[in-house]
Structure 1
């Protein structure tokens, strides 16, 4: 069962807000909480893009960098 794009979008927005809150309160890029927030944000982005593609056959003009990049 695919996710409704509007629900996936709301989850993405929530993860963006969470990422901002964690980054703005952090003491450095090496904190585990920042890595966790990045991972959650990346997952929400991919879920949203998948929902868009499933529903409308559309993709977003962004990519999530991999560890290789």
Structure 2
């Protein structure tokens, strides 16, 4: 089952907005909500990129940093 890129884009935008809300309300770098928002945003980004690739064979010019780097 493939995801519609438009739907995935809307989900990505919602996660970007949620990330901004969490960061703007943060109590510091140790705030666990920031890590949670980052993970959700990263997942939404990957879902959008997967949907773009499935539908149009296109990738985005960004990568998600990992703890391995």
Which band: TM-score by shorter chain? Answer: over 0.9
Q: CA deviation at 1:21?
A: 0.2
Q: What TM-score do you get using the length of structure 1 for normalisation?
A: 0.98
CA RMSD of aligned residues (A): 0.4
1:49 alignment partner in structure 2: 49
C-alpha distance in 2 between matches for 1:29 and 1:9: 28
Cα distance, 1:48 vs. partner?
A: 0.1
Distance in 2 between residues matched to 1:41 and 1:29, nearest whole Å: 17
Residues 22-33 of structure 1 aligned to structure 2 (within 5 Å): 22-33=22-33
Which of structure 1's runs of 4+ aligned residues deviate more than 3 A?
none
- How many residues end up aligned between the 2 structures? 69
Matched, 1:19 2:19: yes
Question: Given the two structures, how large is their TM-score scaled by the length of structure 2?
Answer: 0.98
Q: CA deviation at 1:27?
A: 1.1
